[in-house]
Amino acid sequence: MQRTSIVDIKDLVGQTVDVYGWVHTRRDHGKLIFIDIRDRSGMAQVVFTPGNKEIHELASQLRSEWVIHLKGKINARPDKMVNADIPTGKVEIEPIELEILNKSETPPFPIDTNGLEIGEEHRMRYRYLDLRRERMAKNMVTRHKLIKFIRDHLDDKGFLEIETPILTKSTPEGARDYVVPSRLYSGSFYALPQSPQQYKQLLMVAGLEKYFQIARCFRDEDTRGDRQPEFTQLDLEMSFVEREDVIRLNEELLISIVKNLYPEKKIQEIPFPRFSYKEAIEKYGTDKPDLRDDKDDPNLLAFCWVIDFPFFEKVDKGASHSEALAQEWTFTHNPFSAPKPEFMDDLLKMENIGDILTTQYDVALNGSEIGGGSIRNHTPEGLKAVFKIMGFSEERIAQNFGHMLEAFSFGAPPHGGIAWGLDRLVTLLNNEPNIREVIAFPKTGDARDLMMDSPSVLETKQLKELKLKIDK
């Protein structure tokens, strides 16, 4: 099969091509039938005339979203018929052969609009149709290009892309884990990773020095507006670095993404401005300020870094990571962070806890946090002190994090890293209202998949295999 992508026909006047795609629209003008045929690359007009009676009669049957194969000659359109709004607008296809590959039911909603006028739950129920619309297809393309750009950039910098496990161990890291029952080890459970945090640090202990991953992450959170139970991070870690090294690498990458993939956008200030957490709260009332000079300009990007966060905060008794504990303190960002060097003595002595500042750094864009990381504790003493401050017993520390403490006892290098929320970054760069618009198959805000109808109940046989019983 010799197939020509529709967008390429603009340069093929006079040639005969085979194109495949969907009927986007059909317009019957009596003797003349016009259709727009669409594939992922673009759209083109086809003109059926009564001269070829067999093809003309077949074309009269066509309806929106039917899948067809068309052999045709590429002709230049008359000047007054040129459509300047599409790349193929100067040409049209004169059909020679028409083959109907598959018919379609009438779609439940229009596909030739941007879709934002349609109820979101309806769109998600028929997501495979929603993704056919031009805006959604463009979002998938730009997301792909951004991820590929990241991969190529980090590869050039000597990073290795390494996959880490999806089935792991449940440890208290901030949100509730999704847990997976083990059939072979009855009564025991795996957990899906909230992030690859521990694995990426263990890769630094392994001596791999520069790691990254486009990582799937899972958090069983209560209903929250612009969140998803599963999401994607750019996750990276580096050995023998200080805070400035990580910030510099990430700032360069973000600038390169904008300049190469979004040249229509302007970064308001380079280098990105920096604020301490205290300064940000006092000046803007938030640790992710929107610094845009003109908030009505959709192509204006105002990045900033926020640094010098408090390491610990008083426990919110309703917080998911502390429900079972009678502790007084919890971490603000990440229990694996290191304090700023001048606060290490206070950490180890468990003194002046509320004053300890961490090496955490967050990057914000237009009022949204898009990434955060830190230099890590790389000694067992430092990590153990964090959990002691949080009220963990020696037994619980060993049970939950003994593997990390043991690893750090074998010559762990100083290391640090960051994780970006890729869904949120693409959302902002694509001027979309929420992350569900840039995820191929998202969940609703209350964690349902309307297309697959999940979560769903298990068959009795499956429950028995897992030795589970549902308490009604």
The closest of 129, 123, 136, 127 to 107, measured between CA atoms, is 129
Q: How far apart are CA 409 and CA 378, in angstroms?
A: 9
181 and 71 in a common domain: no
Q: End-to-end distance of the chain based on CA atoms, in angstroms?
A: 57
163 and 37 in a common domain: no
Q: Per-residue pLDDT averaged across 165-170, rounded?
A: 95
Average pLDDT, the chain: 94
> Under a CB-based contact definition with an 8 Å cutoff, are residues 36 and 19 in contact?
no
Residue 455 lies in a domain: no
207 and 156 in a common domain: yes
142 and 83 in a common domain: no
Residue 324 lies in a domain: no
193 and 53 in a common domain: no
pLDDT confidence of 174, banded at 50, 70, 90? Answer: low
Which CATH number is 67's domain given? 2.40.50.140
Residue where one domain finishes, among candidates 102, 137, 156: 102
Give the max Cα distance, the chain: 91
For the chain, the domain total comes to 2
Judged by average pLDDT, the poorest of 199-213, 215-229, 355-369 is 215-229
Residue 347 lies in a domain: no
Q: Per-residue pLDDT averaged across 18-28, rounded?
A: 96
250 and 161 in a common domain: yes
Q: Decide if pLDDT at 131 tops 80.
A: yes
Q: Decide if pLDDT at 194 tops 70.
A: yes
Quickly list DSSP for 318-347.
Answer: T-GGGTT---SEEESS-TTBPBPGGGHHHH
Secondary structure element (H or E) that encloses residue 387, with its range:
helix 380-389
pLDDT tens for 337-349 read 999 999 999 999 9
Which CATH number is 225's domain given? 3.30.930.10
| Burial (CB count <10 Å: 0-12, 13-18, 19+), residue 355 | exposed
Give the domain range for residue 171. 129-309+360-378+413-438
Residue 187 lies in a domain: yes
Q: Per-residue pLDDT averaged across 119-140, rounded?
A: 97
| Burial (CB count <10 Å: 0-12, 13-18, 19+), residue 135 | middle
User: What tokens were used for 310?
Assistant: 């408090």
Q: Decide if pLDDT at 321 tops 60.
A: no
The owner of tokens 């990440």 is 334
155 and 91 in a common domain: no
Judged by average pLDDT, the poorest of 124-128, 144-148, 325-329, 465-469 is 325-329
Residue 460 lies in a domain: no
The owner of tokens 């000694």 is 379
The closest of 231, 289, 268 to 425, measured between CA atoms, is 231
Residue 367 lies in a domain: yes
136 and 235 in a common domain: yes
Cis preceding linkage at 271, omega within 30: yes
How far is CA 187 from each of CA 171, 211, 397, 448, rounded to the nearest angstrom?
17, 34, 22, 27
pLDDT tens for 175-186 read 899 999 999 999
134 and 75 in a common domain: no
User: How many percent of the chain have pLDDT more than 70?
Assistant: 96
277 and 208 in a common domain: yes
Full-model pTM: 0.93
User: What tokens were used for 197?
Assistant: 């945090």
pLDDT confidence of 316, banded at 50, 70, 90? Answer: low
> Under a CB-based contact definition with an 8 Å cutoff, are residues 152 and 131 in contact?
no
The pLDDT score that the predictor gives to residue 1 is 65
302 and 259 in a common domain: yes
φ, ψ for residue 238 (rounded to 5)? Answer: -135, 140
Residue 351 lies in a domain: no
Residue 463 lies in a domain: no
252 and 144 in a common domain: yes
| Radius of gyration, alpha carbons of the chain | 28
